[in-house]
Amino acid sequence: MARTGTFGGFHFDPEVFTAMMNEADYWSNPILASGVIREDASIMNAIGSHGNVATLPFYTPINLFDDGMAALNNDGETNNTPVEITGNKQTCMLIQRMKAFKANDFTQELTGANPIDHVKGKVQNYYTQVWENELMNIINAILGLDAMAEHVTDLSVTTGTIAEKNLINETTAIDAEEAALGDMAGGLGLMVMHSKVFANYQKRQLVEYEKYTVGNAIKHDITLPTINGKVVLRTNVHTVDTKVSGFPVYKTYLLGAGSILGATKGNYKEPYYVDYDPETAAGVEMLYTKQGRVLHPNGFSLAVDNIAKESPTLAELGAKANWNLKFNHKNIKLGLIKSNG
């Protein structure tokens, strides 16, 4: 029998709990809070209440150096024949994830004044990890495309001896950004790196600290490290490959604001639901959760025909064969540096 009024022995209001989840402080979750994701509600409008795929049209740039785009001579005789403005499209797909929890997972911790708020923090933190994992999985996939080869600077070795040239130094990020974007360099304002790489920068006295204010009515002052004017986020998840013993390959990501388009599914009938099983283990309360998001690298198209089910799996999103570059690569504000430290 369903019992939607309590969880872990405490009162549970699904609407209040949903609102609390939506109000969680994303600023404390570095990658999601960094501005890399640009929320665009029109994506969910394009998907609709029952869909899972959206097509995002865009105009191709008007470039003087493309065929047929040279300026004509106004000599009184040459016809000024109009050229057609062209466009293209990129396709994205809704990612849907779910997880259920038992009350006894939280029972010992639910002793504070706000037990449901405590549960919210646990579940919200879990989904923060889910979406950051999805995001970095997608970024790794698209940076593996041949068309994005110039966006990857590889200093690393997996044999022989690790030398100074295999380590990041004070000019590496500058050179990597120029290699990726050429005369369009700029805008890669965030570096996501392993603590080992950060320590290397610290030893070279290249780290500075700046204070930022985040929030609206309630503001939080946070101090973030910067290198070459870029904000640095340290995480030992997603940033090291240890497959070859003795030769760790560290991944330092250069990310631009708005390089990922985001949208949140908000029309679930019951995104958070509690139930009660009176038979199992003399009674078990359960919390069922589900969330849906679009995390789409702007300038790419997902090959939705390759997706087997109605929501793409982590493996499908991480397969570079399922992505196609649609923009000029210089307009993709993403880069990667591989090093041994």
pLDDT tens digits for range 234-288? 999 999 999 999 999 999 999 998 899 999 998 888 898 888 777 777 777 788 9
Cα 334–338–341 angle (5° rounding)?
A: 130
Residue-level pLDDT at 98? 97
Lowest mean pLDDT among 79-83, 84-88, 226-230, 335-339: 84-88
Residue-level pLDDT at 26? 46
Lowest mean pLDDT among 52-56, 105-109, 236-240, 299-303: 105-109
Residue-level pLDDT at 172? 96
Residue-level pLDDT at 78? 94
Residue-level pLDDT at 41? 87
The tokens describing 325, both together, are: 């570059």
Nearest to 168 by CA among 229, 228, 225: 228
3-state secondary structure at position 34: coil
Residue-level pLDDT at 128? 87
Share of the chain above pLDDT 90, in %: 55
Grade residue 24 by pLDDT with cuts at 50, 70 and 90: low
Predicted confidence (pLDDT) at residue 156 exceeds the cutoff of 90 = yes
Predicted confidence (pLDDT) at residue 46 exceeds the cutoff of 60 = yes
Domain residues of the chain, as ranges?
Answer: 6-62+86-339
Residue-level pLDDT at 245? 96
Lowest mean pLDDT among 120-129, 229-238, 247-256: 120-129
Residue-level pLDDT at 211? 77
Query: Does an H or E element contain 277, and which?
Result: strand 272-277
Residue-level pLDDT at 261? 95
Predicted confidence (pLDDT) at residue 293 exceeds the cutoff of 60 = yes
Structure confidence by residue, pLDDT tens digits, 48-90: 878 899 998 878 888 888 888 899 999 999 999 998 888 888 9
Residue-level pLDDT at 1? 39
Greater model confidence, 224 or 334: 334
Nearest to 260 by CA among 110, 104, 143, 119: 143
Identity of the amino acid at 140: N
Residue-level pLDDT at 2? 43
Grade residue 304 by pLDDT with cuts at 50, 70 and 90: very high
Grade residue 105 by pLDDT with cuts at 50, 70 and 90: very low
Could you tell me which residues come within 8 angstroms of residue 257 by beta carbon, excluding any fewer than 6 positions away? 34, 35, 36, 38, 187, 189, 190, 333
Mean pLDDT of 15-26: 63
Predicted confidence (pLDDT) at residue 305 exceeds the cutoff of 90 = yes
**Cβ count near 281 (within 10 Å):** 8
Residue-level pLDDT at 27? 41
Q: Kindly report the pTM of this predicted structure.
A: 0.84
Nearest to 41 by CA among 24, 54, 25, 50: 54
Alpha-carbon gap, residue 308 to 305, rounded angstroms: 8
Lowest mean pLDDT among 91-95, 276-280, 309-313: 276-280
Nearest to 139 by CA among 339, 296, 311: 296
Mean pLDDT of 292-314: 97
Mean pLDDT of 143-172: 97
User: What number does CATH give the domain 6-62+86-339?
Assistant: 3.90.1690
Could you tell me which residues come within 8 angstroms of residue 15 by beta carbon, excluding any fewer than 6 positions away? none
